[in-house]
Every structure is written in structure tokens, then in C-alpha cells.
Amino acid sequence: MTKKPVKNVTPKLFSNRMLGLVDRDREIKQLMYALFTKEHMLMMGPPGTAKSLFATRAFSAIEKAKLFQIHLTKQTTEEYVFGPLNIVELKKGNLVHNTNDGILTADFAFLDEFFDASDVLLRSLLGVLNERVWLKGSQEVKAKLHTAILTSNYQRESDVTQAVLDRIIFKSEIGEVTQKTKRMKIYKDALEHPDFQVSKIFSLKKLKKFSDLIDNPDSVNFPKYILQTFDVLLQEFVKESKKYISQRTANKSLKVLKVSALLDGRDEVDYKDLEELKYVFCVLNRRMEEEIFDAVYERCVGKAEEEKIVMNDLKEIETKVSTMPDDFEGLSDKEFINKMRELNEYIHCLESMSSPTQKTTSKKDSILTEMREIIADNRDKIFKSKKSK
């Protein structure tokens, strides 16, 4: 496996300290996946859990980026989000919006109290969030939008919200900080840094460069066994959790595996990258979902990874055995004893080796049978040779 020089194009990762936050490591990691894959993130939780602070500080850390920010209500109309009607065109009988200062020309969007918006507005956001296109009558505008953070105190269930939620692959539930030491840190920060200002951590240009690398189909290799294990993991998680994961979400989650590999300096996805799917398949911090994922991951990926390791060991032994002559008759006594001892050592090694799957068991049995036949055939020959003498 080759190493790729990705450090020059990888933006610096956010941290709690950089954003002036406490106990938000996992949420920050989820956001980084959203940024690198040009996807969106939904944060749900009670008021006062710093969801808005998280969003504004994260976007403030990106240099030369335009942010669109709005607090949504039932009364929020499309004009507030996409831009007001063009009066000149309206007088001509044309419904055309001036989109210069709305969400369509922004690099990032922070949509606060997302589920308070009307279904009409949410429908209009569907195309922008996924296809990055806004269609209104005869007007078609491409959106620059890279990533949006949506926040809400609750999750509203309807056909429209389900369609929108399927286009937001990163979701988390934000709760209160429960550890006393971390609450003390929050109090201290509030007293000592009441006007905390986020420094610029990386540029929008660098972010886009890395995101383009993720979009490049040739940047990261997916071995066949990884895709097979990915599918097993996905199907087992859906079965155990009773949670619907669309094909759209499944396809997009493959980008997370690419990000994980590239951040680790690899150009090929490995088993350990599959663990990062938790940030897509689960609503982060929803304990039951995460526990199901962990159990399924251990059962599916752990066994598959162990199988790969054992198969490599078996192939190594098989290769060494294949270099041995089938007939030991022409060997000296010393060479004969050494070969027989070597074969017996391999047999003892194989007999003590674990077999996590039927595939490894069959392979091991096949090699053992071959070696035992070599020993039996040559033992008979040496006895016959000595008897004839």
C-alpha cells in the first residue's frame, strides 16, 4: 500500500481548544467529516447547550468564507432565505428573486431552529441541500453552498422533514455536560474569556482542494473485501436497529471512508476506517444506536479483519510448504530430519491457530492434509530405504 502526500492539501483539524468549546470532540469530528465531504450536519438538543455557538465558531474559523445565517420560524418565507423579489421584474409580471445576499451565494449556512420552518420552505431547501440548485418558476440558480449546520430543539416528523433529513447524513443529539470537571472548565472559560474570538484555522480554498480530492474517484482505492464487509455491516446494522438508511446515504457514507484513509496517509481503505461509519449511521450520542453499531461492527468487521490476518498467515505457510520437494529420498539424513522437523512445526502451528470463519478452517485443513501426506509418504520411503539396506 502506497502513501499519498496529502498533508499539503489537508486542512488543519478543529479542536475544542481552537473553537473555545468543552466536551465537543466527537461533534467536532463529525463536523470535519461534513466539511470534507461537502455534506450537512443537524444538531438537536435542548436550549442552552451551545449548538448555535458551535456552528458560528466553526464557520468563523474558515478564512475567506461567506456565511448565511438565519433563525427560522413558521413565518419565515422564501424571500428571507433565497432573496427578495426583484421589483423591476415584478412590474413586468416576472417572479424573479435577487439572490445575491441569500443562502444561494453563501459558502456556508447556519439555519437555526430548522424544524420551526414551514413545509413550504423546507421543500424549497431540498434541492439546495442536495443538488445545490434552487428552482422557482422559470428561475434556476446554482448554489455555492459547501456545508450547512442545522440546529433545533426537537425533531419534527412529517413527509417533508423525512425527505430533508435523508439529505443530511450527519446528525447529533447535544446534551448538557455531565462531568463536573468539564463544567468547571466551562465556568472558567466564561469568566476568563467572555469575548473569546475564534482564530482563522484554514482557508476555504484549502478546504475545497481537499474536498475535490475526496470527490476524485481515483484518489482512494476500495478493495473488494472492504466493499463486501461494508455491505454486510450496513445490512446488519439496519436489521438490528430497525433504522432506515437510504441508498443515497449509503453511497455518501463511502466518502467518509475515503476521508478516514487520506487523513491517515493512506490511499486505500482498510478495515479500521469502517468504524468511522458510526458518524453517519448513528445519530451521534443516541446511546442505543451507537451500542447497536458497536456490537454489529465487532461481529462483522472484527471477524472479517481476523479472517484476513489468518488467511495471510496461512498463505505464508502454504508458500513455504510449496517450496519443499515432494520426495525426500535424495536428501541426506540430516536434511531429511530437518525437513520433517520443519513440517511438524508447521503442523503444530496450524493446529494451534484460531479459525474465525469457515473459509479459514477449510484453508487450514487443506494445508494440514497436504503436509501430513508429505510426512506419511516420505516416512514410508525412508523406512523402506533402511530396510533394503
* Mean pLDDT value of segment 354-369: 79
Total domains in the fold of the chain: 3
Q: What is the pTM of this model?
A: 0.80
**Residue range(s) defining the domain that contains residue 103:** 1-215
> Are residues 240 and 156 part of one domain?
no
Same domain, 149 and 240: no
Q: Which of 160, 191, 215 is the last residue before a domain boundary?
A: 215
Is the domain of 374 the same as that of 356? Answer: yes
And the C-alpha cell for 308? 484476513
Last residue of a domain, one of 193, 215, 237: 215
pLDDT top residue among 117 and 320: 117
Tell whether the model's pLDDT for residue 229 goes beyond 50: yes
209 & 253 share domain: no
**Is the per-residue pLDDT at 172 higher than 80?**
yes
**How confident is the model over 18-41, as pLDDT tens digits?**
999 999 999 999 999 999 999 999
Angle at 119 between CA 67 and CA 255, to 5 degrees: 55
197 and 233 fall within a common domain: no
Task: Tell whether 164 and 260 lie within a shared domain.
Answer: no
- Looking at residue 2, what is its pLDDT? 46
140: number of Cβ within 10 Å: 10
Nearest Cα to Cα of residue 344 among 379, 298, 383: 379
Q: Is 56 left (phi over 0), alpha (psi -120 to 50) or beta?
A: alpha
Q: Same domain for 112 and 175? A: yes
- CA distances 217 to 54, 137, 151, 220, 254, Å, are 32, 35, 32, 7, 11
Residue type, 148: A
Residue 301 sits in the same domain as residue 336: no
Query: Looking at the structure, do residues 43 and 151 belong to the same domain, yes or no?
Result: yes
Name which residue leads in pLDDT, 16 or 335.
16
* 85/78 Cα distance (integer angstroms): 10
32 & 127 share domain: yes
Same domain, 341 and 272: no
Looking at residue 73, its pLDDT comes to: 95
Query: What pLDDT does residue 133 have?
Result: 94
The share of the chain scoring above pLDDT 90, in percent, equals 60
136 and 177 assigned to the same domain: yes
Q: What torsion do the CA atoms of 142, 147, 153, 156 make, to the nearest 10 degrees?
A: 50
Are the C-beta atoms of residues 90 and 139 closer than 8 Å to each other?
no
Pairwise CA distance, residues 168 & 149, whole Å: 9
- pLDDT tens-digit series, residues 343-357: 888 888 888 877 777
The domain that contains 203 carries what CATH number? 3.40.50.300
Query: SS3 string of 216-237?
Result: CCCCCECCHHHHHHHHHHHHHH
Q: Which of 200, 215, 230 is the last residue of a domain?
A: 215
Q: What is the pLDDT of residues 1-17, one digit of tens each?
A: 444 545 567 888 999 99
Residue range 247-279, pLDDT digits in tens: 999 999 999 999 999 999 999 999 999 999 999
- Which pLDDT score is estimated for 184? 95
